[in-house]
Structures are given as C-alpha cells and as structure tokens.
Chain A
Amino acid sequence: MSMPWLNSALYAALQTLPGIPIAPPRASTVAEGVDELYYFLTAITLFFTITIFTIIFYFMVRYRRRSKEDQPPETVMNLRLELTWTIVPTLLCVVIYVWSASLYFRNSRPPNNAMEVFVVGKQWMWHIQHPEGVREINELHVPVGVPVKLTMTSQDVIHDFYVPAFRIKHDVLPGRYFSIWFQATKTGRFHFFCSQYCGTGHAAMIGWVEVMTADDYAAWLAGGTRGETMTQAGERLFHQYGCSTCHLRDGTGRGPSLEGQFGKPQKLRDGQSPVVDEGFLRRAITQPNSMPIPNYAPVMPSFQGQLNEEQILQLIAYVKSLGEEERKGKSK
C-alpha cells in the first residue's frame, strides 16, 4: 500500500500552504510511515464525512416537507443494504488495523546498533545524560542519520517524552524504564514536549532536540565532557556506597558477583528466572528484598531515596560494563 511519491507530494503541498501551519516538520525515519497512514486515514475521514453530509443535504432538499398531508411510503427493511454497510466498514477497519499495527510493531523495536542516551524527567525539567558523560538540561544533542535509543525514567510523577517532528512519544514513569528510539533524517532544532500532565510547570517542560552532523556532534561531545563517563561515575558510586564490599568480583562476597551478569537470566527464590536488564537492576538496587536470590541471605539494604535516578542509571551503566570485555571476546 506504499506510495512514497504521493506521500512526499502531500507533505510538500502541506508545507507550502500560506498562513496557517498544517503539518509538523518531518525529521525521522519513523515520521514518513506515520504520515502515510495519517494521510490515508484523513482521506477515509473526508470521503465518509463528505458522502454523509452530501446525502443528508440532498435528502433534506429533495424530501423536504411540502405539505402537512405528505404521506411518505413505509420504510422497508433491506437486509442486503444492512449487510453491505456492516461488512464494508469492517473490512476497511481490518485493513487499517493491519497497516497500523504492523507499522507500530516495526517502529517500537530499536535497532541493535542504536546509540544510547538516558533521560530522567522530574518536575519540571528534563535531565539528559550521554554515556560519554555529557549532561544537559532540556536539550538533547544527537547526530543525524544514527539510530538513537532513549532509556527514560522519572524522578517523581508520570511525564511523557514527545518529539512531534519525529512522531514519537512515550510516557516516562517513576520506578520503570521505557525506551523509545529514532533516527533523525535532517539536521536542525526540533521541539520536544512533556505530554503527560505533571503539575504546575507542565507547559514549561519543553526542550529542543538539536540534530547535528556527525562532525559537529563529535566536536560538541568533546567540548562538553567533564572527564567522567557514565561508567566511571557508576564505578565511583559503586565504591562510595559500599556495593563493592559485598559484590566481590570472584563471587566470594556476601552478595553475588556482578561480573558478566547483564543480559543473562538470574534465578530467583520464587523459581522465576528473569533476564538481568536495566529494570531488573533498578529494582535490585531500590527494593532488593523483593527479589531474593538462592544461596544468598537477603541482607542487602535498600538504596531507595539515597540515590537519585541519574546515579542509579550510572550504577547500571557500570554493572553493565562488568564483564563486557569477556562478552565481546566471546562474540568474536
């Protein structure tokens, strides 16, 4: 059902309309597909709206009451007509559903090679940190043409990270990690918004995505680094908060060794074996007793409230890095 030429032509036409803005800028790989579906739905809406309005107006004029004595003929049931206008919309809905669901499914899975950026929403600003250690507020610098995965959480209430030009959005929840991704297709500055109501400053939780060329991005990154990557910051916290006193590398400590654990299933006492991912580690840090591990006494204290969300992300980055060389070695 893809008609790229029509899609581009419509987009170009909407951009050139004078006066009232009608279409948002289109600046990601996802946006094109979403717009295509949007145009199709608009066409369906216009078709049915115009048809219904036309028929009603025609009937209103054609069958207007001429005298009180008018005696319209008896309404006759027409099963064929009823079935037609039941089945045709149903088929149409199935077509739209299959199209939109498959597009959504494709759009929601980030490519494996995506570069990672971490987003923390809090009343009423966005804290963004890059793995290289650069941190920014209400600004997100990214290179053009590179898939970028945002891993997002909230420090307080529910927020929502929304970039209209990329046609992406996801709620940002306290205590959970959600990821969205995009690949910018053009350089420039694009709005991002908080689109889940979060209190007094909700409308001020606005920022800019700055899409740069690869060179500009590298220069920007070099200029902003404070000398400590997220992993290094995590390592510092790992020692500062005493994690290293129990989680010994050789596994002889009071807690399990974290070497090479990321991405592998971890057996719990309740018999489940969830995969160790960002969400697992966050829970292990903030509510360790909710997930006791066989052969280890549940003695780890909770770090809820002692670490802020950015620090937890740094710790996770560090744990992720443990045994990464080994993992990379194996895959070679």
Chain B
Amino acid sequence: MSAAVAEAPPATRVDYLNADYGVKSWLLTKDHKRIALLYLGSITVMFFVGGALAVLMRLHLIDPAGGLVQPDTYNKLFTMHGTIMIFFFLIPSIPAVLGNFLVPMMVGAKDLAFPRINLLSWYIFIAGATLALYALVAGGVDTGWTFYTPYSSTYSNTHVITMAVGIFIAGFSSILTGLNFIVTIHKMRAPGLTWFRLPLFLWAIYATSLIMILGTPVVAITLLLVGLEKWLHVGIFDPALGGDPLLFQHLFWFYSHPAVYIMVLPGMGVVSEVIACFSRKRIFGYSFVAFSSMSIAVIGFLVWGHHMFVAGQSIYAGLIFSLLSFLVAIPSAIKVFNWTATLYQGSISYDAPMLYALGFIGLFTMGGLTGLFLASLATDVHLSGTYFVVAHFHYIMVGGAVMAYMGGIHYWWPKISGRMYPDMWARLAAAIIFIGFNLTFFPQFMLGYLGMPRRYATYPAEFQVLNVMSSAGATILGVGYLIPLIYLIWSMRYGPIAPANPWRAKGLEWTTPSPPPTQNFDVTPVVTEEAYAYGPPRPAAEGAHD
C-alpha cells in the first residue's frame, strides 16, 4: 500500500462529487459515497431538531416550577428528543454515514454488494423520518421514547401511531443497511484482505450489522402490536383488555438494549482507527478488540431484563439479568485498556479527530463504570428511573457514540469532501464539547442519587442548583455542536484542497484520491500486510502477529 498516489490537478480530475450534477444525479445515485452524503444531510437535520428540543427542556428546567412550557408540552419535548435522537440520528449515524462511505473502500470494493438496496434504505429512512417530523409538527407524542403500555396503547391521546409507524418504517432501513454490510464484508474483500487484516472499524460494523438484522424486526413487531391494540382493541398489553404490560417491556428492551450497542459499537470502531493513526501504532491486542465487539453483540442480546429490575419481573430473573449485565461490561473494559496501551511509546499528535477519540475513551469509561451501579440490583432499586440513568446513558450515547461520530467525521472529512477544515476551530470545538458535555451531565448523576426522577416537568426546589448547572452546561454543549456545523460547511467551498492522505494513515481508503473517483479504485487493490502497519518497515513475508 503506497500512500504516494499521483494526483491529477483537482480541476480536471473526475471524482464522485463532480462526476455528475443536478438533483436527479443525487436522488437516483447508486454510489455508496453519495448515499452516505444523503444520509449525512438527513441525520444532521434530525440531530439539530433533536438538539433544539433538548435545549428547550434544559431552559425549562432552570426553574423548579417549570419556567417555559406546560407539563404536556414538556412531556412531548423529552419524548420527541429521545425518539428523534435514537431512531433517526444515533442508530443511523456512524453505520449509515461513515459505514456507507467506508465499508466498500476499506474492503477494496467499488461499491456495496447491493447498491440499489442501499439507495432504497435511504428512501425508507426518509419516509420514516418524515412521519416522525410530521408527528412532531402535528402536535407531538408524549409517551416517552420507551412507549410503555398501557399508557401508549390506551391512555395517550397524542400521535403515537404516526410515530410508531415512522419508527417501524425506519427500522427496515436499518435492516437493509445491516444486510448490505454483512454481505459486502463477507464476499467483496480485496485479494489478500483476510478477516484478521480487516480494520477494526469493519469488525465493529459487522457486529453492529448482526444486531441490526436480528434485533430490529422485534421492535417492528412490538410497535405493530401496540398499533393493533390501539386500533382494534386486541388485548395484548393492556390489562383492562386482558393483556400484560410487562410483555411490552420485554419485547421493547429485547431490541432497545442491543440498540445501545448499535449506537456505540461503530463508535468503538472509529476510535480504533483514529487512535492507531494519530499515535502511529498498530492497535494493541487487535484480536482482543475484534472479538470483544463480537461478544458485546452476542451477550448484548441477553441483558434486556436489567431495565426491569423494579418493573415487576421475578427477583430470580433479576438475579440472572444482573449477572449477564456484569458480563457484558468485560469486553468494553478490554477495549478501553487496549486503546490506552496503544498510546504507549507512540508518536501522538493532537489533531481534532484524536481529541474526540481520547474524549471518547474518558467519557465512555465513566459511562461504563456508572453502568455497574445500574447492573447491581441493590443500588439499581434506588437509582433506576432517576437522573442517574439519564446521565449514565448520555455518557454512553453522547459522550461515547456522538464523540466518536464527530471524531470520525473529522478524520474522514478530507476524504469525503476533498477539503481540509480549519484545524484550530476543530480543536476548539472538541474542547468546548468535552467541557459542555461534562457540565451538562455530571450533575445529573448527583441529581439521580439524591432521588430526582426523570421525566419531571417540575421538581422540588432542593434539586435546583444541580439543574441550573446542567442547563448551563447544555448551552455550552449546544455552541460546541454549532461550530463544526459552520466550519465544515464553510470548508466544502473554501477549505484548502485535501491531499489523498493528509494524516499519513494506513488503510485502503487512503490509497485513493480525495475525494475518491466513483469507482473508488482504478485497479482492485491487493493487500499484503496487516491493518495499521505503522511500525518500522519490514518484509511482508514475516507475516502478522496475533
């Protein structure tokens, strides 16, 4: 793999961005890179809609009596925030944007296995997202993103069905994307690219895809059953009709717990790439990191009951789910230790992607360790349903998944756009996001231990100080997210032209020009070395360690 690819002057070279012009060339494209950009645009809109809702919530909560909106409106704010962020931003984020862009390039292929299905998945996503936004504009949904029955199925008078159908539809986009990735990684790897030469990003995406295609149908069926109960009064979940509300929670969490790993596993993949590149080291314990992704995907399916320790499942079920939840913590710990060890004796630079990746390690560590409080039965009784839970999962999903997403966007931005972004601004934004994030969510751990329940539109005055701190942090965090939006858009036109490999990174995607031609590679690459061959040059014949 030689990084020195001769580059034609950008004005004349044909790449995937200038290969064709016009709306039609985008809306009917089968190029995985263009579809990745379609996803990028759509989920960015969803991210800022969801973010605006969060800002409104935090402003409202400055006053214990609820300063801004009526309780009903507040209930809709947190419901729409959660639903949009989870189903329409986090779940598609890294897989559908970076995964779409990178999976074919990393395996050395021209495109995904099923380019038409890939485009279809974006249209399905847009259909789902449109319904979700319609539900928001038409008056909102007030059930919480968890849609617990019988509140959602019988008592709520809001647009539950519209939202449920939106999520149901968007789920198929996820299934199709996962299917595409699995087939591509199995069948389209370049000659010489064995499983244990795959970048860890692909291992993570592969594990994620397994969860997508195995888990998503369950939530689709569950939402369908809620619809059946609401429309046709078939007794499934509502005890008044002879149903069982706990059944809903089992079905819902059977998908929605693994869904957490859909959000964070790809982030772990991104972090592995970035850490290796900016410390110029092969990832420490490559096979341990790879297999930990797979074991998270498998064990992740067996821990859903830890959301229900106080919900009324038997205490013996609780005992088993608690044990399994501790087990799923181990592979995550292994990853953290290996990333840290990778830095040892490295040549570490502090470019923006690296700052995000290091931020990820710190925040994910805290998110993971606070998860132990919730996996522990005795402490979970006190903490479940409080702000402690809110803080914990935001450390994983925002401190983890979103940090990694931002890191990944910055890392591959030169490849995606062909332009460099202003480095100082990028580092500044990363620092602001890190500080704003901690100020927003750390006080929420304390609020939770004090006993403040989540989803409260108003609250007793003794919780005010910590709430004000959290709201102050949220404004900083909000600014932190707006800065990259501005300079990344700016860079598309005015940024300096990016070379093929600005970071001197390893990996097939860096061997082709920035932005890549539609076919990705002029000649199918042949892989002769392991991933992350940043070490001293040596004969390929020596073969790979571990």
A196 to B143, CA, bound (A): 11
Residue of A with least CB distance to B340: A55
Q: Would A89 and B329 count as touching, CB distance under 8 A?
A: yes
Is B311 in contact with chain A by the CB < 8 A criterion? yes
* Residue A113, interface by CB 8 Å: no
B338 to chain A, nearest CB (A): 8
Stretch at the interface among A2-10, A152-160, A310-318, A323-331: A152-160
Nearest-neighbor residue (CB-CB) of B331 within chain A = A86
Complexed CA–CA distance, A44 and B376 (Å): 13
A74 partner, pick from B322, B369, B535, beta carbons under 8 A? B535
B465 with A195: CB separation less than 8 A: no
Tell me the B27-58 residues at the A interface (CB within 8 Å): none
Query: A175, B239: Cβ atoms under 8 Å?
Result: yes
Cβ proximity bits B441-475 to A, threshold 8 Å, 1 near / 0 not = 00000100111011111111010011000000000
B196 within 8 A of A: no
With contacts A56-B362, A168-B381, A195-B386 taken as known, whether A157 is within 8 angstroms of B455 at the C-beta atoms is no
Assess A194 versus B453: contact at CB under 8 Å? Given A34-B381, A168-B381, A175-B239. yes
- 6 A-B pairs whose Cβ atoms sit less than 8 Å apart in the complex: A53-B362, A63-B279, A73-B536, A97-B323, A175-B239, A197-B151
Q: Is B288 interfacial (CB-CB < 8 Å)?
A: yes
B22 in contact (CB, < 8 A) = no
Given contacts A44-B369, A203-B458, contact A104 B283 (CB under 8 A): no
User: Among residues 299 to 353 in chain B, which have CB atoms less than 8 Å away from a CB atom of chain A?
Assistant: 310-312, 315, 318-319, 322-323, 326-327, 329-330, 333-334, 336-338, 340-350
Q: Tell me, yes or no, whether B284 is within 8 Å of chain A by CB.
A: yes
Q: Does A49 contact B (CB under 8 A)?
A: yes
Q: Are A107 and B457 closer than 8 Å at their CB atoms?
A: no
Q: Does B373 sit at the interface, judged by CB under 8 A?
A: yes
Does B81 lie at the interface of the complex (its beta carbon under 8 Å from any beta carbon of A)?
Answer: no
Is A219 in the interface zone, CB < 8 Å from B? no
List the one stretch of B90-98, B116-124, B240-248 in contact with chain A. B240-248
Q: Scan residues 33-73 of chain A and give those whose CB is less than 8 A from a CB of chain B.
A: 33-34, 37-38, 41, 44-45, 48-49, 52-53, 55-56, 59-60, 63-66, 68, 70-73
Closest Cβ neighbor of A177 among chain B residues: B312
New A-B pairs, 7, CB < 8 Å, besides A90-B330, A160-B310? A20-B465, A37-B376, A41-B373, A44-B369, A65-B348, A86-B334, A200-B72
Interfacial chain A residues near B346, Cβ < 8 Å: 59, 63, 72
* Chain A 163-182 interface mask (CB, 8 Å, partner B; 1/0): 01101111101111010000
Centre residue among A71, A90, A197 by max chain B CB count within 10 A: A197
Residues of A within 8 A of B358 (CB): 56, 60
Q: Say which residue of A56, A76, A201, A304 sits within 8 Å of B340 (CB atoms).
A: A56
Residues of A within 8 A of B310 (CB): 160, 169-171
Contact A77 B312 (CB under 8 A): no
- Least Cβ distance of B399 to chain A in Å? 12
Q: Find chain B residues with CB under 8 A from A52 CB.
A: 336, 340, 361-362, 365
Q: Are B381 and A37 neighbours in the complex by a CB distance under 8 Å?
A: no
Cβ of B156 under 8 Å from chain A: yes
Q: Which residues of B contact A68 (CB under 8 A)?
A: 504
Contact between B282 and A75 (Cβ–Cβ < 8 Å)?
Answer: yes
- Across the interface, B459 reaches (CB within 8 A) one of A48, A167, A203, namely A203
B509 proximal to A (CB < 8 A): no
Name which of A21-29, A221-229, A244-252, A263-271 contacts chain B.
A21-29
A41-B373, A170-B310, A197-B151 in contact; A104/B334 too (CB < 8 A)? no
CB-nearest residue of chain A relative to B142? Answer: A199
Instruction: List, in ascending order, chain A residues with CB within 8 A of B350's CB.
Output: 60, 64
Contact flag A21-B451 (CB < 8 Å), given A55-B340, A59-B340, A157-B151: no
The answer to whether B345 touches A73 (Cβ under 8 A) is yes
| A176-B239 contact in complex given A41-B379, A196-B148, C-beta closer than 8 Å | yes
Nearest CB of B to A320, in Å = 22
* A282 CB, nearest partner CB in chain B, Å: 11
Q: Which chain B residues border A82 with CB–CB below 8 Å?
A: 285, 288, 334, 338
B378 near A200: Cβ-Cβ < 8 Å: no
A positions within 8 Å CB-CB of B: 19-24, 33-34, 37-38, 41, 44-45, 48-49, 52-53, 55-56, 59-60, 63-66, 68, 70-78, 81-82, 85-86, 89-90, 93-94, 96-97, 99-101, 103-105, 107-108, 123, 156-158, 160, 162, 164-165, 167-171, 173-176, 178, 191, 193-204, 206, 287, 304
Residue of A22, A34, A85 ringed by the most chain B CB atoms within 10 A: A85
- Cα–Cα distance between A63 and B384 once the two chains are bound (Å): 42
CB distance from A278 to the nearest CB of B (A): 14
Give Cα distance in the complex from A85 to B546, angstroms.
Answer: 17
Residues facing A in B359-401 (CB within 8 A) are 361-362, 365-366, 369-370, 372-373, 376-379, 381-382, 384-386
Residue B520, interface by CB 8 Å? no
What's the minimum C-beta distance from A175 to chain B, rounded to whole angstroms? 3
Contacts of B534 in A (CB 8 A): 72
Question: With the chains together, A266 CA to B185 CA distance in Å?
Answer: 59
Residues of B within 8 A of A21 (CB): 446, 450, 462, 465-466
If A65-B348, A72-B281, A203-B456 touch, whether A167 touches B381 (CB-CB below 8 Å) is: yes
Q: Is the CB of A49 within 8 A of B282?
A: no
User: Separation in Å of the A188 CB from the closest CB of chain B?
Assistant: 14
Contact status B379-A38, CB under 8 Å? yes
Known A22-B446, A53-B362, A167-B382: A74·B239 in contact at CB below 8 Å: no
With a cutoff of 8 Å between Cβ atoms, the chain A residues found around residue B239 in the complex are 173-176
CA distance A21 to B462 in the complex (A): 8
CA distance A70 to B376 in the complex (A): 46
Q: Does B545 contact A (CB under 8 A)?
A: yes
- Bound-state Cα–Cα, A41 to B373, Å: 7
Which B-chain residue is minimally distant from A89 (CB atoms)?
A: B333
Collect the chain B residues with CB atoms within 8 Å of residue A100's CB.
322, 376-379
The answer to whether A203 touches B457 (Cβ under 8 A) is: yes
Smallest Cβ-Cβ distance to B535: which chain A residue: A74
**Interface pair B282/A74, CB less than 8 Å apart:** yes
Are A23 and B340 CB-contacts (below 8 A) given A41-B373, A176-B312, A202-B75?
no
Q: How far is the CA of A59 from the CA of B281 in the complex (A)?
A: 13
Q: Which of B143, B372, B466 has the most CB of A within 10 A?
A: B372
When C-beta atoms are compared, the residue in chain A nearest to B326 turns out to be: A93
Please determine whether B451 and A203 come into contact, CB atoms closer than 8 angstroms.
Answer: no
CA–CA, A104 to B322, complex, Å? Answer: 11
Contact B369 A77 (CB under 8 A): no
Chain A residues near B495 (CB, 8 Å)?
none
A20 CA to B446 CA, complexed, in Å: 10
Of A60, A97, A202, which is within 8 A of B348 by CB?
A60
Which of B283, B322, B377, B535 contacts A72, CB < 8 Å? B535
The answer to the question of B478 belonging to the interface, with a C-beta cut-off of 8 Å to chain A, is: no
Contact between B330 and A104 (Cβ–Cβ < 8 Å)? no
Nearest 4 CB-CB pairs, A to B?
Answer: A164-B451, A175-B239, A70-B347, A104-B377
Contacts of B284 in A (CB 8 A): 75, 77-78
Given that A76-B545, A164-B382, A173-B239 are known contacts, is A158 also in contact with B343, CB under 8 Å in the complex? no
Task: Give complex CA distance A37, B382 in Å.
Answer: 12
Interface pair A85/B148, CB less than 8 Å apart = no
Partner of B345, one of A63, A89, A108: A63
Asked if B144 is at the interface of the complex by the 8 Å CB criterion, the answer is: yes
Which residues from chain B contact A56 at a C-beta distance below 8 Å?
A: 340, 343, 358, 361-362
Q: Which residues from B are CB-within-8-Å of A162?
A: 385, 451, 453
Q: Is B415 an interface residue (CB 8 A)?
A: no
A73 touches B366 (CB 8 A): no
Q: Which of B245, B329, B350 has the most CB of A within 10 A?
A: B245
B375 to nearest A CB, angstroms? 8
| Interface residue? B21 (CB, 8 A) | no
Considering the complex, give the chain A residue whose CB is closest to the CB of B344.
Answer: A59
Interchain CA distance A248-B250 in the complex, whole Å: 42
